[in-house]
Structure 1
Amino acid sequence: MSQPQATSSSSKAEAVKDRMLHHDAFSKLLGLEIDEVGPGYCRLHFTVRPDMLNGFAALHGGVTFSAADSAFAFACNSHGRQSVGLTVTIDYLEAGKLGDVITVEAREESLKHKVGVYQIRATNQHGTVLALFKGTAYRTNNEIL
């Protein structure tokens, strides 16, 4: 019996993702491609373009942060209750470079009635960890669907 609920939860996560993406011009601007979503989970990727580089020809930290924040948003809203970020932190470990394919993976670490905690990793195509992002989300009572 747990399998149908898993399917239902995955379907809900997909429906939430579709609704969010429909209104998310910024994720589209970054070229984020959602690879997978599920309850408390999101994996996406993007390719580093010239307009994403800083003055030292490295991936701008704001782009990395924004991609991680988007993965966080898809993961924390995947249960169907509108969630908003309470606090986030990011540690930059390596710089991305032009042409890199960056994968960003968000995983739920804890889910309570009002608060969820998520760990997000950004890696390049070689598996090098570029950044570690932690997000805490406040779960409102508003149902998304």
Structure 2
Amino acid sequence: MKQPETTASTTAEAVQERMLRHDAFSQLLGLAVEQVGPGYCRLHFTVRPDMLNGFAVLHGGVTFAAADAAFACNSHGRQSVGLTVTIDYLEAGKLGDVITVDAREESLKHKVGVYQVRATNQHGVVLALFKGTAYRTSTEIL
């Protein structure tokens, strides 16, 4: 039986709040969640000098970490873990850019969920495309 939307949204918000409270790395990156829902997350961050690589562009690891943080596989209240993820880097982020990361669920089954994540800058330029497949455990988060 599918959860009513309000209950599902409340669950997604509670999961997000709990995860961020205990996620020191996301806090270190300055990730700010704008919106969450069942199978959805939008967050943003500003590119700082300590996020740049040796060529003065956004380090790919920062982009990957932000996409992984947005990966909305836990939003239904069941603990999930990434099975496989891939990322394509299309453009480089620059110092001062505001990066928005949108994660959307493409498929949700009993044990597997598939998610697409896009990272864009403040001009709407797509910097990276991330695809994640998650294994859904039977452990309830809340």
Percent identity for Structure 1 against Structure 2: 83
- The structure 1 residue matched to 2:128, chosen from 128, 131, 140, is 131
Shift of 1:22: 1.2
The answer for the alignment partner of 1:69 in structure 2 is 68
- Tell me the distance in 1 between the aligned counterparts of 2:55 and 2:16: 34
Deviations 1:45-101 (A, max 9, x none): 0000000000110000000000000000xx110000000000000000000000000
1:51 — aligned with what?
50
Residue 132 of structure 1 deviates from its aligned partner by 0.2
**RMSD between superposed Cα atoms in Å:** 1.1
Q: Which has the higher helix share?
A: 1
Cα deviation, residue 5, structure 1: 1.3
Which of residues 132, 137, 144 is equivalent to 2:141? 144
SS in 1 for 2:131: strand
Letter in 2 for 1:127: G
Q: Which residue of 1 aligns with 2:26?
A: 27
Q: TM-score, normalised by structure 2?
A: 0.98
The answer to whether structure 1 residue 96 and structure 2 residue 93 are counterparts is yes
| Runs of at least 5 residues in structure 1 that lack an aligned partner in the other structure | none
Corresponding residue pairs, total: 141
Q: Distance in 2 between matches of 1:24 and 1:76?
A: 16
User: Hey, which bits of structure 1, 4+ residues long, moved more than 4 A?
Assistant: none
User: So what's the TM-score if we normalise by structure 1?
Assistant: 0.96
Partner of 2:113: 116
Give the distance between the partners of 1:22 and 1:96, measured in 2 at CA. 27
- Flag structure 2 segments of 5+ consecutive residues without an equivalent: none
What amino acid sits opposite 1:99 in the alignment? G
3-state secondary structure, aligned to 1:58 = coil
